[in-house]
Each structure stands twice: as C-alpha cells, then as structure tokens.
Amino acid sequence: MQIYQHWQGVEQAHRGASVAMGNFDGVHLGHQHVIALAATHGPLGIITFEPHPRSYFAPNSGPFRLMNAEARANRLAKLGVQTLFELPFDATLASLTPEGFVAQVLAKGLGVSHVTVGADFCFGQGRKGTAADLKTLCAAHGITVHLADLVQTGGTDISSTNIRAALTQGDTKTAREMLGHWHRIDGAVIHGEKRGRQLGYPTANMDVTGLHLPRNGVYAVYADILTGPQQGRYMGAANLGTRPMFGENRPNLETYLFDFKGDLYDHHLSIAFVEWLRGEEKFDSLDALIIQMHADCDRARAILTATK
C-alpha cells in the first residue's frame, strides 16, 4: 500500500483512484461498508486525516482515538487498499471552503475519479459542506460520488462512539461485533522497568498516549509481531493500566507472550483484546502477585485456545 502524507504532487500512477473518505477511527463495519462500495468503482484509495480533526480543533479534549495512524494503516492494508492519502489536517486544510476542498484537494491535488462517503459526512471550513453538497460540487469536476447508508448491528448504530462505550466497560465482544475484528493497539515495543522479567514474566511494553483505552485490567490477548525475524501470532496476557502494585499512575500496556523467547525492543506489535479477565489489584506481596499471574495466564490460554 502506497501512503501519501500530502495532497500535492501525487504521482500519476496513483491518480484516478476511487476513494472512501472519512476519519476511519477503528475501521469498524460501517467504515468497511463505505470502503467496499468505493472498491467497486476503480483502484481503491482512502482519504483520511492526521491528526484527527477533533484533535486539531479541541486539543485539550482528552484521549479519544480508538487507534493510532499506524494501526489504522495496518487495518486498511488488510482490506485491500492500494493508496492511502493521509492528509495533514492543519490550518491550510481547515480553512478550505467546501468548494475549495473539492477543487484543490480532490480534483487538482489527488485527481480522484470517484468518492464514497457516509450519508452523514460533513467537510470544509466550519463543516459547512454536507454529503449532498459533495455530490454537487464533485459533479462539476467530473468526479462521481456515492453516499453510503449508515450500518447497524442489533438495532444499534455502528459508530466509534458506541465502540468506545463498550470498551470502557471491558466489553470486548460487543466492540468486536461493531468493529468486525478484535480491538487492537499497535506500536513499537519500548523499554520499561523490566519488573516482569524479574518476576518470571518478561513483558513487551507499549506507549498508549492519545488513545481511548479499554477498561483497566488484565486481558487475554493475541499478540501479532509485525516486524523482525520472529513475526507471527502468539497467545498472551496483557495488563492495561497504571500498575498500582508499584505506585505508578501513567497508563501503560504490557504484554506477556506465551511460548516466546527473544528480544522485542523496537519491533512493532499489534495487540488484540479478546477478553477482559479482571481489574487491576494491589497485592499484599510479590508472591501473591506471581500466584495471580500464573492463574491469569492459565485462564487466558484456555480462553484463547477456545476462541476462533
């Protein structure tokens, strides 16, 4: 998948794409519906924005993203996307009128042939442009537009907001029903305090800054190693939280991979949250913590073995 992080000077080979356009936070089933429709009109591309416009307009609103740019790109690649236009959302882009956005970005800059968006899509300065406006404005440049209906599951709208609510409760299965895949956190393995190694459970630590996090606690997870010589999928148990046993208060994700030996520092992992096992606890002793870790791993292995 070719990734562009600008909208000017796109190579001729990547012009003429049929694009799905939106933020695609989570790449849930509603997003996948839009993407599948776009794929029927030509070479498949995605237009999205980085940072998320909400981060630009409300930088102090707190973490809300379901996935970072890396995780989103990984998921989009799995859907067969050929070109990802990850447009920088800055003052220049934010100031474009709906007419300017269509003329300068879609037509002149990216040279798209077709655009598919959700029926509730808004764009341009002050979000003044509606999906209907997009259709009218694009027609003047010979660009066709398809408006996709919203998608539901069990009578509930599939949305990033509803997925966040499920994850906040530790309800990974409901989140999966809306996502069409397990919720994941992707990123590089960073150096931690190495306490897990001392306890007999070496863990891979990952930064979770800027993300809306699932409920704190211990999870049964799948861990996909994305880079390096030991690429592949492993079962594991992960702790997401602030590690009260050690008096810390900064959110952290640390994952113990079953049946794995090796160094993962600076390699990239994708952690899939399969089932919440228990909340964070402060134990009376390290021995009590280790006993609980044994039990957590046994339970996680049993769940994952039975999970398809």
The CATH number that applies at residue 198 is: 2.40.30.30
Q: Is position 172 within any domain?
A: no
Q: What does the pLDDT average to over 191-200?
A: 69
Tell me: pLDDT of 193 over 90. Answer: no
Q: Structure tokens of 104?
A: 């300068």
Q: Is position 173 within any domain?
A: no
Q: Are 253 and 271 in contact (CB under 8 A)?
A: yes
> Is 189 in the same domain as 149?
no
> Is 263 in the same domain as 127?
no
Tell me: pLDDT of 196 over 80. Answer: no
> Is 146 in the same domain as 19?
yes
> Is 147 in the same domain as 234?
no
- The mean pLDDT of the chain is 93
The shares of helix, strand and coil residues in the chain, as percent rounded to the nearest 5, are 35, 30, 40
80-91: per-residue pLDDT in tens? Answer: 999 999 999 999
CA distance 125 to 129: 8
Helix ranges (H only) for the chain are 29-39, 53-57, 69-78, 91-94, 98-100, 131-139, 160-168, 172-179, 195-198, 286-306
100-112: per-residue pLDDT in tens? Answer: 999 999 999 999 9
Tell me: pLDDT of 223 over 80. Answer: yes
> Is 149 in the same domain as 6?
yes
> Is 44 in the same domain as 107?
yes
Last residue of a domain, one of 136, 153, 170: 153
Q: Are 271 and 238 in contact (CB under 8 A)?
A: yes
Comparing 155 with 33, which gets the higher pLDDT? 33
Domain of residue 33, residue span: 2-153
CA distance 199 to 241: 18
Q: Is position 177 within any domain?
A: no
Q: What single-letter DSSP state applies at residue 174?
A: H
> Is 15 in the same domain as 117?
yes
> How many residues in the chain?
308
> Is 12 in the same domain as 86?
yes
> Is 193 in the same domain as 256?
yes
> Is 196 in the same domain as 110?
no
Strand pairing partners for 256?
A: 237
> Is 187 in the same domain as 291?
yes
How many domains are contained in the chain?
A: 2
> Is 72 in the same domain as 140?
yes
Q: Is position 175 within any domain?
A: no
CA distance 72 to 35: 13
How many separate helices (H) and strands (E) can be counted in the chain? 10, 16
Tell me the one-letter amino acid at 60: N
The two beta strands, 156-157 and 184-190, are: unpaired
Q: State the angle between helix axes of 160-168 and 172-179 in degrees (0 to 180), rounded to the nearest 10.
A: 160
pLDDT of residue 195: 64
